[in-house]
Amino acid sequence: MALPPTNADGEGSDAKTTPETPTPAPSSNGQSLLASLLFERREQVLDAWVQAQARKLDRRAGRRPDADVRAECTALLDALQSAVAGDSTDVKGPEYVEVTRLVDFMSKDRARQGYSPTETAVAVFSLKDSLLGVLEEVLADQPELLVAEIKRMNALVDDLGLQTFEAYVAGREEVIVSQQQSMLALSTPVVKLWDGIVALPLIGTLDSERTQTVMENLLEAIVETESQVAIIDITGVVTVDTSVAQNLLKTVAATRLMGADCIISGVRPQIAQTMVFLGVDLGDVVTKATLADAFRVALRLVGANLAAASPRP
């Protein structure tokens, strides 16, 4: 039976049930019992949902403000009411597009703000408590229907919980990738040493991904500073194997294509022995043991007049 519309006083135009405790039933127009409950008991479900989250997260640091939680729950509950109206519980179906969008946004937002998986999942799984209380109250005299509706409700909320977890993991991965990119940018600074000379000190390892960042930063710096010489200092590189050497040569080749000379400094005895053992050929690339030695060579290449630049005693 379809639910009658209510006026401002809460009285239905065609109501046949008592106004105190209406007992929704599946309607003839296809509206589900759950949709009817969400319509009739919307505020009751909403209040219980917000309270359940506050109760479960009461002792956790950084709990979201109640106003924010209620706003999220209100939007999600409205979307859920529309989705279950057709009696579908398939969260991958077209009816649940808005529901999953809100769940994804909520989960990723919590992931970006540093919330734990538990704190994020509680936002969805606590809906069970509020719906269970309403179902038990409305269907107390219909145990078989109550059991069936609880099973459907549990399956629906569980699927939304899985969606929450997937979105949370995706959100954390986005945070990790963003942090890696920030650290990568910080670990490949290009320093201007002199007019026409830039230096790129490398620390750690030099894999393919970092090589791309090194190339981009170095080439951009060469263009911006109109440098003629670029020094790549590998003093902070732990080990140099065939892969690292090839990545260095790629960077040198890219630098030369920009019209600048390239010098590799910081070649320690252990690194030199390793490169010889591996048969790595740097060709005609100028290499120096220290950054200071490389800087002297670079100054000669740009024709710097150190005597003129030196301060008078």
Q: Write out the DSSP string of 128-180.
A: HHHHHHHHHHHTTT-HHHHHHHHHHHHHHHHHHHHHHHHHHHHHHHHHHHHHH
Q: What mean pLDDT comes out for the span 163-167?
A: 92
What SS3 class is residue 198? strand
- pLDDT of 249 reads 87
Q: What angle do CA 66, 69, 72 make, to 5 degrees?
A: 150
CATH superfamily label, 191-305: STAS domain (3.30.750.24)
Q: What mean pLDDT comes out for the span 275-285?
A: 84
What SS3 class is residue 67? helix
Answer whether 289's CB lies under 8 Å from 265's CB.
yes
Tell me the CATH number for domain 33-184: 1.10.490.130
Q: What mean pLDDT comes out for the span 100-124?
A: 89
- pLDDT of 58 reads 65
- pLDDT of 204 reads 78
Residue 143 has pLDDT above 50, yes or no: yes
Amino acid at 212: Q
| pLDDT tens readout for residues 245-268 | 888 888 899 999 999 999 999 988
User: Residue 14 corresponds to which tokens in the numbers above?
Assistant: 């065609």
* 102 CB-side CA count, 13 A: 19
**pLDDT averaged over the chain?**
82
- pLDDT of 182 reads 67
147: Cβ contacts below 8 Å, ≥ 6 apart: none
User: Residue 215 corresponds to which tokens in the numbers above?
Assistant: 């190339």
E strand residue ranges, the chain = 191-194, 197-204, 229-237, 261-265, 286-288
Q: How confident is the model at residue 23 (pLDDT cuts 50, 70, 90)?
A: very low
Q: What mean pLDDT comes out for the span 114-121?
A: 87
Residue 313 has pLDDT above 60, yes or no: no
- pLDDT of 187 reads 64
Answer whether 280's CB lies under 8 Å from 241's CB.
no
Domain boundaries of the chain, sorted by first residue: 33-184, 191-305
33-184 and 191-305 share one fold: no
- CA separation for the pair 131, 34 (Å, rounded): 9
Answer whether 53's CB lies under 8 Å from 123's CB.
yes
User: Residue 82 corresponds to which tokens in the numbers above?
Assistant: 């529309």
- CA separation for the pair 273, 137 (Å, rounded): 80
- pLDDT of 3 reads 39
Percent of the chain at pLDDT above 70? Answer: 83
Residue 99 has pLDDT above 70, yes or no: yes
| pLDDT tens readout for residues 283-297 | 888 999 999 999 999
User: φ, ψ for residue 97 (rounded to 5)?
Assistant: -60, -45
Q: What is the pTM of this model?
A: 0.55
- pLDDT of 184 reads 63
Residue 306 has pLDDT above 90, yes or no: no
Q: How confident is the model at residue 158 (pLDDT cuts 50, 70, 90)?
A: very high
Q: What mean pLDDT comes out for the span 39-53?
A: 89
Q: What mean pLDDT comes out for the span 141-163?
A: 90
Residue 197 has pLDDT above 70, yes or no: yes
Q: What mean pLDDT comes out for the span 278-307?
A: 87
Higher-confidence position of 15 and 290: 290
Provide the greatest CA pair distance for the chain. 106
Residue 69 has pLDDT above 70, yes or no: yes
Residue with tokens 């003129």: 308
